[in-house]
Amino acid sequence: MFNYKYLLQVFCFGIILVVQKTMQNTTLCTFPPGFKFGTATSAYQIEGAWNVSGKTPSIWDFATHNNFESIIDRSNGDIACDSYNQIDVDIANLQLLNVSFYRFSISWTRLLPNAGNNFINPDGVRYYNEVIDKLIAHNIDPMVTIFHWDLPQSLQDLGGWTNKLTIEYYLQFARTCFSLFGDRVKTWITFNEISMYCVSAYDKKSLAPFASLSGIGTYLCAHYMLLAHGRAYRIYKKDFIHQKGIVGLSIDSPWYFPATNTANDKMAAMRAIITGFDWLAHPIFSQTGDYPLFMRKRIDYNSKQQGFKESRLPRFTTKEKAILQGSADFLGLNHYTSKLASMPMSEKASEMTSYEIDRSFDISFDPKWPKSARNHFKVVPQGLRKLLLYIRDTYNNPIVYITENGYAGDHSEYIDDHDRVSYTNLYLTEILKAIVIDKCNVTKYTSWSFMDNFEWHDGYTLRFGMFHVDFNDPKRKRTPKKSMYAYRNIIRFGTLPRCLSFEKSI
């Protein structure tokens, strides 16, 4: 006899599946209410006006003028995007993009030209007040990075971030920013990418100050920056709490997939994350206030083998650990790409001191990963979801702001930047999965970059912007690219393009 009951059960089950699938599809289309989209730049990369109205040289002014062979096209940021003179154009473009917030940085030597004394440059105050006031007048929240790599050259002459004194100078700078602008700026990023800065400056010699102190300067630099971060956070909480803002930092990290399924390569991938991301995140977001144990042991051991009396990885005092532990209201994550990690044939050890040797793993790339104009920036969106999961599980699901994510085009790119449109969609899809399925606490996304700009040692040979900038035009004309329109739609509807029927016609 025909079993109606069974048929009904199958039918109901089918309905449930369809409803579940539809619900999942809609939740995987739309960002949660309150999720915010923004875009970012940094002072040296866009402002220009390197020596006007009292501004003194930063390490980037110095390097590009005196060490210009370090920059691929021998260019500099003397004019860059001329943003110092084009506040209104920039604000109009931000408005066109429809962002909720704009992340930019403050040029230390524009605000405090004589780092070390208390002179505040009125023109610096005027300029940043104007930027902030105009942003707010247009309903765009300022998200301010205090230090985005442009250290005063006068402090570099004293040893820069390898000199403990720089912490005190930085705190004076941070305090000045809080007190001048904190009535309107409610989101502060103390440091941009400590590891990129310190490793590139001291190990790879690919960013200013292009110094040679590998495996020593690298750790000192990060150690003092971490301490400066922790103390700036505590200063804000003690003296500026009435401003009701939040303070965090931006940590850069790729994701590392094991090159093969072997236990060794899995271990190599873990090493890569621990000695990269966790190096900076662990002291702040773990319960210990200290470096990861793996780094402690490994660098202590290597240092001893190399005949050092003290470990090349400095130690925090108990008081310093207490300052660092929990010293961030959010974790800013700058993420562009992923890599493959494998275990080297034999442990890397050498008489030479080097961060890379301390990390001891090999890097490669999956040939199937799509390329970008920067060799080692492949398009691997699934890596971002993995990294977000790792953060959730390792650090008790902190609030994460993606403070940078973007695609490198080359100098020939104009406005048809399909690859950037696709990159942004793919990475945002993974972020949405991380939020909806994995319950990661990601609440903000920042595209890098608002417009093409001076790309550090790559000069103007790479373009990351959603607005094209004509660097041959004295007016530095900005033109929206396809990605500007595509991102604007995502922001407007809070929805991924594949879920918008009209998107294909854009």
Mark residues 203-242: x for contact with ligand BGC by CB under 6 A, - for none.
----------------------------------------
- Given 215, 423, 455, 490, the residue binding ligand BGC (CB under 6 A): 455
When asked if residue 61 is in the footprint of ligand BGC (CB under 6 A), the reply is no
- Residue 152: name the closest of 192, 112, 181 by CA: 112
Q: How far is the CB of 19 from ligand BGC (least distance, A)?
A: 43
Please state, in angstroms and rounded to a whole number, the distance separating the CA atoms of residues 165 and 263.
44
CB 166 within 8 A of CB 155: yes
Q: How far is the CB of 505 from ligand BGC (least distance, A)?
A: 31
CA torsion, ordered 19, 20, 24, 30, to nearest 10 deg: 40
When asked if residue 253 is in the footprint of ligand BGC (CB under 6 A), the reply is no
Q: How far is the CB of 104 from ligand BGC (least distance, A)?
A: 11
Mark residues 316-345: x for contact with ligand BGC by CB under 6 A, - for none.
------------------x-----------
Q: Looking at the DSSP assignment, which residues form a beta bridge with residue 252?
A: 334
Stretch that binds ligand BGC, among 188-196, 227-235, 292-300, 486-494 (CB under 6 A): 188-196
Please state, in angstroms and rounded to a whole number, the distance separating the CA atoms of residues 295 and 297.
5
When asked if residue 419 is in the footprint of ligand BGC (CB under 6 A), the reply is no
Stretch that binds ligand BGC, among 61-69, 191-199, 223-231, 276-284 (CB under 6 A): 191-199
CB atoms within 10 A of CB 21: 10
Please compute, for residue 448, the number of CA atoms within 13 A of its CA located in the half-sphere on the CB side. 21
Q: Hey, which bits of 68-218 come out as E strands?
A: 101-105, 141-147, 187-192
- Residue 358: name the closest of 276, 299, 270 by CA: 299
Please state, in angstroms and rounded to a whole number, the distance separating the CA atoms of residues 99 and 102.
7
When asked if residue 464 is in the footprint of ligand BGC (CB under 6 A), the reply is yes
Q: Which helix (H) or strand (E) holds 444?
A: strand 442-447
- Given 63, 71, 140, 196, the residue binding ligand BGC (CB under 6 A): 196
Q: How far is the CB of 455 from ligand BGC (least distance, A)?
A: 5
Please state, in angstroms and rounded to a whole number, the distance separating the CA atoms of residues 191 and 285.
15
Q: How far is the CB of 71 from ligand BGC (least distance, A)?
A: 13
Q: How far is the CB of 64 from ligand BGC (least distance, A)?
A: 15
Please state, in angstroms and rounded to a whole number, the distance separating the CA atoms of residues 298 and 456.
32
The number of residues that bind ligand BGC (CB under 6 A) is 11
Annotated active-site residue in 404, 413, 430, 455: 404
Mark residues 378-407: x for contact with ligand BGC by CB under 6 A, - for none.
--------------------------x---
Of residues 82 and 193, the one with the C-beta less far from ligand BGC: 193
Please state, in angstroms and rounded to a whole number, the distance separating the CA atoms of residues 42 and 411.
19
CA torsion, ordered 159, 163, 165, 170, to nearest 10 deg: 80
Q: How far is the CB of 88 from ligand BGC (least distance, A)?
A: 24
DSSP-assigned letter for residue 445: E
CB 353 within 8 A of CB 306: yes
Please state, in angstroms and rounded to a whole number, the distance separating the CA atoms of residues 153 and 151.
6
Q: How far is the CB of 196 from ligand BGC (least distance, A)?
A: 5
Q: Which helix (H) or strand (E) holds 400?
A: strand 400-404
Q: Looking at the DSSP assignment, which residues form a beta bridge with residue 103?
A: 40, 143
Mark residues 423-452: x for contact with ligand BGC by CB under 6 A, - for none.
-------------------------x----
- Residue 193 catalytic? yes
Q: Which helix (H) or strand (E) holds 458?
A: none
When asked if residue 413 is in the footprint of ligand BGC (CB under 6 A), the reply is no
- Residue 404 catalytic? yes
Of residues 193 and 430, the one with the C-beta less far from ligand BGC: 193
When asked if residue 75 is in the footprint of ligand BGC (CB under 6 A), the reply is no
Please state, in angstroms and rounded to a whole number, the distance separating the CA atoms of residues 329 and 290.
18
- Given 58, 64, 156, 192, the residue binding ligand BGC (CB under 6 A): 192
When asked if residue 193 is in the footprint of ligand BGC (CB under 6 A), the reply is yes
When asked if residue 42 is in the footprint of ligand BGC (CB under 6 A), the reply is yes
Of residues 197 and 240, the one with the C-beta less far from ligand BGC: 197
Of residues 149 and 169, the one with the C-beta less far from ligand BGC: 149
Of residues 290 and 404, the one with the C-beta less far from ligand BGC: 404
Q: For residue 58, which amino acid is it?
A: S
Stretch that binds ligand BGC, among 190-198, 388-396, 435-443, 469-477 (CB under 6 A): 190-198
- Given 61, 252, 265, 320, the residue binding ligand BGC (CB under 6 A): 252
Q: What are the DSSP calls for 249-280, one per residue? A: EEEE--EEEESSSSHHHHHHHHHHHIIIIIHH
CB atoms within 10 A of CB 166: 22
Which residues are at the interface with ligand BGC (CB under 6 A)?
A: 42, 45, 192-193, 196, 252, 334, 404, 448, 455, 464
- Residues carrying an active site annotation: 193, 404
